[in-house]
């Protein structure tokens, strides 16, 4: 279990909210009590480091992302008895959903700001679990984004599977992180080679249609649409580039 012990009022409440949101077991501690036996790691503020005497201590620096702090605590908590397998579920899209499971236990569920940000988050997580078998399960939708993510993670994980999202996502569910959790828990088809990221004509036309909807009066060229689809350019950048032509 994680213990929270700090004199930093803001950090304390940020940690409590994040731990509750993630359904991560924890206990609040005070400086005048002994750390209970069930606590395996303590999170504190950097300025409280000298005041906390405990073997496994995670110190949060000012302004540090709270979820990263909790991830570090979980890594420290389970490092001595690592999960035999970690499963990472991904709901591909412009803002990919990501869910991380160890021994069937949800460790973290969140939405990344972009496909590259999703890959960076996953690689950061993987770097702390190098002794585990890492399985990535990714939904079958958003073909090009899906394939880009698979190719980027190809050398980092033990196994990658594509999961049919129609069997995992409840109707009318728009929560990418929740969809990622369902994908993580559903076995899929193993990917045996890197995949094509060459846009198809229909995908290019769809991006051109979306550019008209976004801008109101501009249809980007096929070459710009291709760059959007391959991740070389954001849609708003492509629209602006088309305006400049």
E strands along 143-243, which residues? 159-163, 189-190
Contact 133, 88 (CB under 8 A): no
Domain final residue, candidates 78, 95, 124: 78
For 46-80, what is each residue's pLDDT tens digit? 999 999 988 889 999 988 888 888 888 887 787 65
Asked whether residue 8 falls in the same domain as residue 72, the answer is yes
Asked whether residue 207 falls in the same domain as residue 118, the answer is no
In the sheet that 2-4 helps form, which strands lie side by side, from edge to edge? 26-28, 2-4, 41-45, 57-60
* pLDDT of amino acid 167: 62
Asked whether residue 97 falls in the same domain as residue 134, the answer is yes
83 confidence band (pLDDT: 50, 70, 90): low
Which helix H or strand E contains 52, and what residues bound it? none
* Phi/psi of residue 164, nearest 5 degrees: -70, 110
* pLDDT of amino acid 82: 58
Domain final residue, candidates 78, 106, 124: 78
- CATH number, domain with residue 7: 3.40.50
- Domain count for the chain: 3
* pLDDT of amino acid 161: 97
Contact 168, 194 (CB under 8 A): no
- Specify the 3-state DSSP secondary structure of 14: helix
Mean pLDDT of the chain: 88
Asked whether residue 70 falls in the same domain as residue 8, the answer is yes
* pLDDT of amino acid 174: 62
Report the length, in residues, of the chain. Answer: 245
- Percentage of the chain lying above the pLDDT 70 cut: 95
DSSP annotation of 68 reads: H
Asked whether residue 90 falls in the same domain as residue 185, the answer is yes
Q: Does residue 98 fall inside a structural domain?
A: yes
Mean pLDDT computed over 160-178: 75
Asked whether residue 172 falls in the same domain as residue 101, the answer is yes
Mean pLDDT computed over 35-43: 92
What's this model's pTM, rounded to 2 decimal places?
0.73
For residue 208, the enclosing domain spans 201-243
- Specify the 3-state DSSP secondary structure of 179: helix
* pLDDT of amino acid 218: 92
pLDDT greater than 70 at residue 127: yes
Asked whether residue 149 falls in the same domain as residue 177, the answer is yes
Q: CA-CA distance, 226 to 26, in Å (whole number)?
A: 47
Q: Does residue 74 fall inside a structural domain?
A: yes
Asked whether residue 93 falls in the same domain as residue 122, the answer is yes
Q: Does residue 196 fall inside a structural domain?
A: no
- CATH number, domain with residue 116: 3.30.420.140
Asked whether residue 99 falls in the same domain as residue 186, the answer is yes
Asked whether residue 31 falls in the same domain as residue 6, the answer is yes
pLDDT greater than 60 at residue 165: yes
Q: Does residue 195 fall inside a structural domain?
A: no
pLDDT greater than 60 at residue 8: yes
Domain final residue, candidates 54, 78, 102: 78
Structure-block tokens of residue 38: 């069930």
For 185-244, what is each residue's pLDDT tens digit? 999 999 999 898 899 999 999 999 999 998 988 999 999 999 999 888 889 999 999 999
Mean pLDDT computed over 84-100: 91
Asked whether residue 37 falls in the same domain as residue 111, the answer is no
Asked whether residue 71 falls in the same domain as residue 89, the answer is no
């Amino acid at each position: 279990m994680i213990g929270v012990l700090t004199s930093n009022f803001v950090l304390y409440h940020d940690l409590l909210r994040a731990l509750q949101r993630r359904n991560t077991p924890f206990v609040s501690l005070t400086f005048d009590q002994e750390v209970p036996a069930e606590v395996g790691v303590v999170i504190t503020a950097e300025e409280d480091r000298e005041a906390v005497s405990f073997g496994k201590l995670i110190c949060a620096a000012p302004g540090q992302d709270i979820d990263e702090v909790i991830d570090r605590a979980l890594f420290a908590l389970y490092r001595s008895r690592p999960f035999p397998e970690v499963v990472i579920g991904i709901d591909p899209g412009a803002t990919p959903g990501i869910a991380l499971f160890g021994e069937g236990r949800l460790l973290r569920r969140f939405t990344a700001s972009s496909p590259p940000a999703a890959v960076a988050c996953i690689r950061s997580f993987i770097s702390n679990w190098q002794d585990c078998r890492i399985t990535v399960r990714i939904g079958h939708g958003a073909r090009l984004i899906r394939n880009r993510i698979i190719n980027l993670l190809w050398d980092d994980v033990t196994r990658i599977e594509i999961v049919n999202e129609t069997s995992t996502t409840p109707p009318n569910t728009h929560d990418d992180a929740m969809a990622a959790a369902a994908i993580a828990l559903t076995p899929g088809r193993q990917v045996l080679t890197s995949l094509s990221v060459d846009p198809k004509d229909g995908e290019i036309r769809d991006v051109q249609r979306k550019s008209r909807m976004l801008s109101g009066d501009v249809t980007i060229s096929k070459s710009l649409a291709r760059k959007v689809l391959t991740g070389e350019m954001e849609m708003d950048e492509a629209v602006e580039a088309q305006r400049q032509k």
